Amino acid sequence: MHLLRVVDASKGTQRFELAEQFTGHHHHLICQVCGSVEDLDGCLLQSDALDAIRERVRRSRSFRLTGHDLKLIGICRRCDAR
């Protein structure tokens, strides 16, 4: 039914969230210490950068991109303060 999608988190865990058709396209910040996941509104990749990636992958791998999922991994404010 495509209501949910799996979002990989740190430490080998997964979480589920509503599919993009309900929430809109967005990316995630993932804490490598506690595993918290924070949504980032919208797409961080500007169309020029995404077009360049799409073209490079098409040329080097003969692969046509139909979407992307970006996760940024680091340490959240709470864990960084410890």
Give residue 7's pLDDT: 77
- Using alpha carbons, select from 9, 67, 63 the residue that is nearest to residue 38: 9
Total-model pTM: 0.72
Determine how many CB atoms are found less than 10 A away from the CB of residue 30: 22
Query: Would you call 21 helix, strand, or coil by DSSP?
Result: helix
pLDDT (average), residues 18-40: 89
Does residue 11 have a pLDDT over 80?
no
Segment 43-80, tens digit of pLDDT: 888 889 999 999 999 999 999 999 888 889 999 999 99
Give residue 9's pLDDT: 64
Domains of the chain plus CATH, in order, are 4-80 (3.30.1490.190)
Give residue 48's pLDDT: 92
Does residue 4 have a pLDDT over 80?
yes
Indicate the DSSP class of residue 26: E
